[in-house]
Amino acid sequence: MQERFFIALFVSMVACPLAAHAQAPTPKPVIGFLNSASPGPFSPLVAAFHAGLKEGGYVEGQNVTIEYRWAEGQYDRLPALADDLVRRKVSVITATGGVVSARAARAATSTIPVVFLGGTEPVGEGLVSSFSRPGGNVTGVSTYTSEVAAKRVQLLRDLLPNVGKIAVLTNPENRTGNDLQDIAAAVNTYKLQMVELKAKAESEFESAFTEAVNQGAQALLVSSDPFFTSRRAQIVALAARHKMPAGYAWREYVQSGGLMSYGTSLPGMYRQIGQYVARILKGANPSDLPVQNPTTFVFAVNLTTAKALGLRVPRIVRARADELVE
Pairing of strands 260-264, 297-302: antiparallel
Select 30-144+266-297's CATH number: 3.65.10.10, 3.40.50.2300, 1.25.40.10, 3.50.50.60.
3.40.50.2300
Q: Which residues of the chain have pLDDT under 50?
A: 1, 5-11, 13-16, 18-21
Model pLDDT, residue 5:
44
Instruction: Look up the pTM and report it.
Output: 0.87
Q: Where in the chain is the domain with CATH 3.40.50.2300?
A: 30-144+266-297, 146-263+298-325
Report the CATH fold assignment for 146-263+298-325: Rossmann fold (3.40.50)
Phi and psi, residue 257, nearest 5°? 110, 0
Model pLDDT, residue 132:
93
Segment 70-88, tens digit of pLDDT: 999 999 999 999 999 999 9
Model pLDDT, residue 122:
84
DSSP, residue by residue, 137-180: TEEEE----HHHHHHHHHHHHHHSTT--EEEEEE-TT-TTSS-H
Segment 244-280, tens digit of pLDDT: 999 999 999 999 999 999 999 999 999 999 999 999 9
Contact status, residue 282 vs residue 307, Cβ threshold 8 Å: no
Phi and psi, residue 9, nearest 5°? -65, -40
- Closest listed residue to residue 203, CA positions, set 234, 243, 230: 234
Model pLDDT, residue 23:
54
